[in-house]
Amino acid sequence: MTEYICMIILSVSFGGNCLDTHCQGYLCCSDLCDITKDNPTSPLNETFEPLNEKFEQCCMRASQKTWSGKEKELLIEYIGVLGKSIVVDPDKFNDSNVYKIEHIGGIMTAIPSNVCDWDRDTLLEVFLQQVHEFVKYWRYIVQIDFSFNKLRKVESLNCLQKLYQLDPSHNKITHFKNTTINQLAHLRHLDLSFNEIMSMDPACISQPTQNVFYANFGKNKLPVVDVTNAFSVNPFCHINYTSNLIDKFVNEFGFTLDANKTYGPGFVSFNFNNFRTFPDFQSLLGLSNLAELGQLVSFGFDFRGIQLDCDCYLEPFLSMVQELKAFLWRDYFNVACANPPSLQGVKVPNLDPYDLVCTLERDADCPQECTCIDRPSTNTLFVNCTNLKTLPEFLPNSTLSRSISLKLSNNDIQILSNKPYLYKVTFLDLSNNLLEQVNDDAIAVLENATLHISNNVRLTQLPQRVQHRNHCITYMEGLHLTYGCQELWIENWLKVKKCDTEKLFKCTIPDLGIKEAREFSC
């Protein structure tokens, strides 16, 4: 089985604000992590894997700690049958130490009650002494491993100001709050994988006080992800959302990118989720165009293993590639379509933008009698209807295409009147209908549209405003006009310009019978 890589590296510049104010001696976070520095040639010349490796190595270096191996271990003591616990030190407190708490594969249901004093349970009165004693340890704890327990939630850990690594993976956490670790400027590694997280507050890892380098939310049950959890405002290494149920991004609190900042660099994995379309970052972040994203963010999204729908929503990305080729890694679009069947297996770089369409349904305002196909490469929504007696009241509002091509030939429509969508129509085919009436205001709105009204046997008159139309884009074959034919404007209108494939209407004139329009003169 081939795995395709879908990477977006929109720009690989790096601003260099490497958290200096937070380094404070024992975390070396210099030279994170300009992968272009060792690759002075265009990043297009390299494939993803070696560059990714370089980035990883440099990230590991950058997040190195100086105390490694010297941490002193604290112990967990259970204080109830329901999995409550406190942390204890078998020795005396020594402020030249750093401490870690490791309790793997236990039955803890909550963070120990004396960590940040979140627990207000009266039971604790028995342990008041230990609880009080432990406060002085808070600022010396650098590492916590509570993997393979039964934690259901995690309260604020913000008292652990020097915490560097937090691992509550393989627990039963269902929700992650943005007040749990938001003040922990030293926290570099967060592993929440293999929990049951179904929801996350916005801004869990991306507040300006935070410098999380590695965050793993893999193997959870997240259905959506807020953009503020998809990257950090500070440089980061890897955010992992592999194997969730994510099918869309949201932006709950209207986060916007600061045009004076660059974001990242870093990698974000969305492998094996339920995405079927590329996220629409333009509307999510309120950008005026997609290229703006490339100027502001410099990180990679990895969409390997998604079942990509090659539909109309992909089209703007293909267009962006044309504009931004220089900033994109070659592998970005090395992903194959899963749908529609006609494009299955086609790799994105080989797609013809013309083939990227969406069929809009009734819930998008496409009338039951119509098919509505949005084809952004032509900037047009194509609508084709049958069994109509009147013009459709509404048509879909496409966000991708500006124009509408409306094919209504061979229906039983009697009146061409103005409708709210008519100003977008650039092509209207009403031939072979039962038109009796063509309204002046509709003709006004359709001034520049191609108009077919041929073979409407009941149509005997047209509003004079027709004379402002270019008759080369007005198809009126097989009409028998009566009223109006004597009027001068028709003769003048036809004289202005001869069209190549001219097929005109006939006029029925009292006393003279039926005449071809061009033969007619007053």
Ligand X SMILES: *[C@@H]1O[C@H](CO)[C@@H](O)[C@H](O)[C@H]1NC(C)=O
Sequence-distant (≥ 6) Cβ neighbours of residue 193 within 8 angstroms: 169, 170, 216, 217, 218, 219, 220, 240
386 binds ligand X (CB under 6 A): yes
- Say if residue 367 is preceded by a cis peptide, omega within 30 of 0: no
- Smallest distance from ligand X to CB 45, Å: 23
**x/- track of binding to ligand X for residues 472-511 (CB under 6 A):** ----------------------------------------
* Contact present, 282 and 289 (Cβ < 8 Å): yes
Cα–Cα distances in Å, from 94 out to 77, 97, 136, 139?
Answer: 20, 6, 10, 12
DSSP 264: E
| Selected range binding ligand X among 19-27, 30-38, 201-209, 306-314, rule: CB under 6 A | 201-209
* Contact present, 353 and 377 (Cβ < 8 Å): yes
Q: Which is nearer to ligand X, 117 or 201 (CB)?
A: 201
| Strand (E) or helix (H) holding 167 | strand 165-167
| Selected range binding ligand X among 11-19, 43-51, 149-157, 444-452, rule: CB under 6 A | 444-452
Give the pair of three-digit tokens for residue 372.
Answer: 């509505």
Binders in 420-439 for ligand X, by CB under 6 A:
420
- Smallest distance from ligand X to CB 205, Å: 11
Q: Which is nearer to ligand X, 240 or 474 (CB)?
A: 240
| Selected range binding ligand X among 73-81, 214-222, 451-459, 468-476, rule: CB under 6 A | 214-222
219 binds ligand X (CB under 6 A): yes
| Selected range binding ligand X among 80-88, 157-165, 211-219, 285-293, rule: CB under 6 A | 211-219
The correct pick among 89, 155, 201, 280 for binding ligand X (CB under 6 A) is 201
d(CA 112, CA 489): 90
C-alpha dihedral, 342 to 336 to 295 to 398, nearest 10°:
20
369 binds ligand X (CB under 6 A): no
| Strand (E) or helix (H) holding 292 | helix 290-296
Q: Which is nearer to ligand X, 448 or 521 (CB)?
A: 448
269 binds ligand X (CB under 6 A): yes
207 binds ligand X (CB under 6 A): yes
407 binds ligand X (CB under 6 A): yes
Q: Which is nearer to ligand X, 112 or 218 (CB)?
A: 218
354 binds ligand X (CB under 6 A): no
**x/- track of binding to ligand X for residues 231-260 (CB under 6 A):** ---------x-x----------x----xxx
Q: Evaluate the CA torsion angle 397, 398, 403, 408 in order and state its sign.
A: negative
# binding residues, ligand X (CB under 6 A): 28
203 binds ligand X (CB under 6 A): yes
The correct pick among 113, 216, 232, 262 for binding ligand X (CB under 6 A) is 216
168: closest CA among 242, 101, 83, 75? 101
Residue with tokens 């909550």: 110
Alpha helix stretches (DSSP H) within 426-466 = 440-445
371 binds ligand X (CB under 6 A): yes
384 binds ligand X (CB under 6 A): yes
357: closest CA among 379, 388, 338, 336? 379
Comparing every residue's Cβ against ligand X, the nearest one is 218
Q: How far is CA 303 from the centre of its chain?
A: 12
448 binds ligand X (CB under 6 A): yes
Q: What φ, ψ does residue 165 adopt, rounded to 5°?
A: -140, 130
Q: Which is nearer to ligand X, 112 or 266 (CB)?
A: 266
> β-strands 175-176, 224-226: how paired?
unpaired
d(CA 101, CA 258): 39
Give the pair of three-digit tokens for residue 15.
Answer: 């601003």
The correct pick among 445, 473, 499, 509 for binding ligand X (CB under 6 A) is 445
- Residues within the interface to ligand X (CB under 6 A): 94, 96, 178, 193, 201-203, 207, 216, 218-219, 240, 242, 253, 258-260, 269, 365, 371, 384, 386, 397, 407, 420, 445, 447-448
